Amino acid sequence: MSDSDASGRASVLAPLDARIADLVALYEDLHRHPELGFQETRTAAEAARRLTGFGYDVTTGIAGTGVAGVLRNGAGPVVLLRADMDALPVTENTGLEYASTVDGRMHACGHDVHVTCLLGAADLLAAGRERWSGTVVVLFQPAEEIGSGAQAMLDDGLYSKGRVPTPDVVLAQHVAPFGAGLIAYCPGACMAAADSLEITFHGTGGHGSRPETTVDPILMAASFVQRVQSVVSREVAPKDQAVVSVGSFHAGDTANVIPERAVVRLSVRSFDETVRTAVLAGIDRIARAEAAASGADRAPETEVLDSFPVTVNDASTLHEVNEQFVELFGAERVFAYGPASGSEDAGVLATAAGAPLYYWWLGGWDPEEFRTALAAGRLAQDIPSNHSPRFAPVARPTLTMGVQALTVAALNRLGA
């Protein structure tokens, strides 16, 4: 990086110190008021209000609650920065002073961090526009947790109706349960494809004292739950990765009645499309075979509840942005990390545009607590993961580094 580039970057980042207190207050407010997917009206309104004040052209109501801000600043590339807004149906157990005020809902995945950091970066880029040239698009996306928010925005004409210009690059980050002040990256496939399925097994109900007159869907489904684990252990090569987890099993209402049906819900994770296809085919084959083995007169029915593609980082973009991260944060704070079995839909925005994607992880946990747990070999036990009711990123330095990361990543592509 030239001295002039470094000076320009420093100039754009300089106002952050004066703005960080406001961003912390925003983060705490968003955390107190979590909203589920496609219900993020309060969050969206605050994003739109702030973007308007920063001077962006703002479009609201995309796919219901999505918000886009566009800042055109001369010739140059179009850079899209994305944050997801939705919370989870989780009851908070963090003990924070700014804990959720909504029963049964919580920002248990850090999307309040994402929204805050993107608004901070949008502010800095607008204030420092004399230092760059091009177009910045900031996108506040609904419903990431159910895997349909990004596609819903595209279906509502995000690019096709010109709500925002088609980006030349898509950039995003996700807060993670490692030490605040760190950034992790993964080349290539960085997050898994995910498919959530609901399989309904049909039997013939009857009195619990006369099972011979029934076709028991509970036994059928229970056999499936046991056998389906063989898809990974016996049909996926050791060099490949896949996960099949059954998370829900519902059947019957009372002890002495064999019900008519049993419903199983399961989650499938994979990093390769061929593996994904094989695993899903194996699950379907075993479900049908167990029904046939039980003598059911109806095949099981499978419904896809949600589906995420593999998230794939572009090698060149990752390398270029990481050079900026190392320059700003230091090499000791930027490290490689293996693919995560969690899933994301940010890549849908890049694929639809034919643009490269870089998606990185932002450390959010108290650094001292993280170091202590790491030294004791107790990360899994002592550091709550995303989606835990105890997930509580610290505001500082998480927000500071998150705003800086998004800003310098955008500046890397925007013309001087």
Residue owning tokens 């490949």: 240
Q: Give the CA dihedral 97, 107, 189, 118, nearest 10 degrees.
A: -80
Catalytic residue among 84, 112, 144, 345: 144
- Structure tokens of 308? 């995420």
Contacts of 406 (CB under 8 A, 6+ apart): 81, 117, 118, 120, 121, 171, 173
Beta strand 134-141 with 78-84 is parallel
3-class secondary structure for 317-371? HHHHHHHHHHHHHCHHHEEECCCECCCCCHHHHHHHHCCCEEEEEEEEECHHHHH
Tell me, yes or no, if 144 is annotated catalytic.
yes
User: What is the distance between the alpha carbons of residues 172 and 163, in angstroms, rounded to a whole number?
Assistant: 19
The position carrying tokens 């496609």 is 38
Dihedral pair phi/psi, residue 205, rounded to 5°: -75, 170
User: Which residues, in sequence order, are CB contacts of 190 under 8 Å at separation 6+?
Assistant: 311, 312, 313, 339, 340, 359
Active-site residue 86, yes or no?
Answer: yes
The DSSP 8-state label assigned to residue 246 in this structure reads E
77-to-150, 216, 346 alpha-carbon distances in Å: 22, 61, 19
Interstrand relation of 311-313 and 188-191 (parallel, antiparallel or unpaired): antiparallel
Q: Please name which of 95, 120, 119, 117 lies closest in space to residue 106, comparing C-alpha atoms.
A: 95
What long-range pairs does 245-249 form, CB within 8 A, spacing at least 24? 249/221, 249/222, 249/225
Of 35, 40, 46, 86, catalytic: 86
In degrees and rounded to multiples of 5, residue 32 shows phi and psi of -70, -25
- Structure tokens belonging to residue 403: 């705003």
Instruction: Determine how β-strand 78-84 pairs with β-strand 169-179.
Output: parallel
- In angstroms, the CA 82 to CA 154 distance is 13
Closest C-alpha among 147, 190, 78, 180 to residue 308: 147
Number of Cβ within 10 Å of residue 380's Cβ equals 10
Residues tagged active-site: 86, 144
